[in-house]
Amino acid sequence: MAVLAESGSNPDVDLLYDINGLAKDAPHWFDRVMEFVGEYGLLVAMVLLVLWCWGTVRRRGGEDAAPSVAALVWAPLAAGVAVMVNVPIRGFVERPRPFVQHQGLDVLVSGKTDFSFVSDHATITMALGVGLFVANRRFGIAGIGLALLEGFCRVYMGVHYPTDVVGGFALGTAVALLLSPPAMALLTPLMRAVERSPRAGWIVRGRSAPGVPVVPSARRVESEERDLAA
């Protein structure tokens, strides 16, 4: 078992008090907004950003459509894998939540009884943000920005140390990037096959997207063959 940040003399704890101290000076309504944003809002925003990027990729079409959609599929998968990797990490470190060991924190969310290191919220949002960056840099930068805001919110809410957040960022980034090559090697051919499908092709390309492959129906092929034989 590893113990981190045991005393207030630790810079990690000092930064925790500095950031969480902003919650004490803020109006009550603002704390409630930060509570919702940090617990649910930014996660929903990340999902919407992925869907927005998917819609943009479909409309644009082109040769990069299938690899881009493959990267978008990998983004939530990477977040899920990162959270699974975090399970044994939390069990090994066994770091209590900051409000358990330190007095005077303004805790905005109650009922947190699990361990603190590393932050699942920071891990998930950063994995999604990095996955988005692989698919589309513009959307990826926005996603990484949301992930950084999520990390700030978790410390502001008094439920994580800053190093919990940094560890989550590192874990999400590592999983999304290091496992991206094998994931893309599997997902890109799958998305190209979906792209060629007359029924499921809309997942990769919109109907008005340039370069949509035309797959004639079996009935049409038989009709053309009869015409040629005649």
3-state secondary structure of 33: helix
CB 195 within 8 Å of CB 209: no
Is 28's pLDDT higher than 80? Answer: yes
Nearest by Cα to 116 from 12, 32, 42: 12
Cβ count within 10 A of residue 220? 9
Find, among 146, 167, 164, 147, the residue nearest to 155 by Cα. Answer: 164
pLDDT score recorded for residue 209: 58
Q: According to the model, what pLDDT value does residue 9 have?
A: 67
| pLDDT the model gives residue 217 | 45
Where does 13-229 sit in CATH, by number? 1.20.144
Asked whether residue 208 carries a pLDDT value surpassing 90, the answer given is: no
Q: What is the pLDDT of residues 184-206, one digit of tens each?
A: 999 999 999 988 888 888 888 86
6: confidence class by pLDDT, cuts 50, 70, 90: very low
Mean pLDDT of 49-57: 92
